[in-house]
Copies of this chain bind each other. A is one copy, B any other.
Amino acid sequence: MKYDKILLEHGGGGLLSHELVTGKFLPLFRNEWLERLEDGAVFEIGGTRFCLSTDSYVVQPLFFPGGDIGSLAVHGTVNDIAMCGGDPLFLCAGFILEEGFPMADLERIIRSMSEAADLSGVRIITGDTKVVARGSADGLFINTAGIGIIRYVHSISVASIREGDVVIVSGTIGDHAAAIMSIREGLGLETGLLSDSAPLGGLVKAILDASPHIHCMRDPTRGGLGAILAEIAQQSGLEIIIDERPIPVRDAVKGVCEILGLDPLFLANEGKLVVFCPEGEGGRVLTAMQNHAYGRDAAIIGKVQGHVTRGRLVVNTMIGGSREVDLPTGELVPRIC
């Protein structure tokens, strides 16, 4: 790798994140589970399939419209488990606190985690707290890891995606990042934007009940829908074609993007998912999603064209052109989750 120091972009969910994972972590930790590079790792014990997932949360500010670091830390890991088709059961939580952090804020965050856990149907059953001196951390970082049971027979994985699959997104994109950015830039109250942070286990259940044959699911967090689809295209060696027109984007998000020069396609979401399902089941899955509170604005946005020499994502733009979209190389919005 060509970098001798860690850059912000190594944590951005784009090209440098990908290079760090595949260039450093994967070669040294290599094993059949990690190799799949999914949101969680799936393993089997005594005939039962489990999913294990982890994420650290460093979002700033800690409290934002529509959520806080506590609910985000629960939803984020619960969603990663749900993306593997798992029912999230148990979480553990690790806190790194900066000396001087207000106890009242900590209590508010713990309360928010507790409520999010209740809503998500998981229990936080063990944890750890570390404190570092003033200046050695920025307030509070939370790690959550979680375990779920996978009850579906079919493998929900990038490896399962096939030519002809339709691509469905569960709702408006960019809400989370736009809400955070509007607060940071002082646009907060005017836009009225809320983070979409939400637990997706129920929506996933609705999808799998409608079609247990879906091929792959992902929640487009860091790097947004664009990065996640570009990565899937790369991993699978498939050409994925999406249309910009049907992708739901709130007017307020468009507004923030115009002001700040951002593209909603690369903005983080914390309560959305994208599904790849067999062509014949697209309609049924779409209806099931639209009937769920967290999928009301779901839309079919593209399809899988087939195998190509080098997997790629092609976006048909609003104005009728088409462009190839790569993993983003810059860090659009740091500390978004």
Contact = CB atoms under 8 A, between A and B. Distances in A.
A98 interface: yes
Nearest to A51: B126
A54 B127 contact: yes
Interface in A121-165: 123-133, 135-138, 141, 143, 145, 147, 149
Contact of A111 (B8, B28, B104): B28
A6 B41 contact: no
B335 A132 contact: yes
Interface string A9-37: 11110000100110011001101011000
Contact of A136 (B95, B117, B126, B137): B137
The number of times this chain is found in the oligomer is 2
Interface residues of A, number: 81
Contact of A125 (B7, B41, B99): B41
A143 B8 contact: no
A309 interface: no
Nearest to A93: B54
A102 B24 CA distance: 13
Contacts of A308: none
Contacts of A5: 99-103
B125 A33 contact: yes
Contact of A55 (B12, B53, B128): B128
Interface stretch (A42-50, A166-174, A187-195, A255-263): A42-50
A6 B99 contact: yes
A106 interface: yes
A15 to B, nearest CB: 14
Leading 9 A-B pairs by shortest Cβ distance: A11-B131, A145-B145, A33-B125, A41-B125, A143-B143, A54-B92, A41-B126, A136-B138, A56-B94
21 contacts: A5-B101, A5-B102, A6-B97, A6-B106, A10-B131, A12-B131, A33-B123, A43-B90, A45-B89, A46-B48, A52-B125, A52-B145, A52-B147, A53-B126, A54-B93, A56-B143, A58-B130, A130-B141, A132-B138, A133-B335, A136-B137
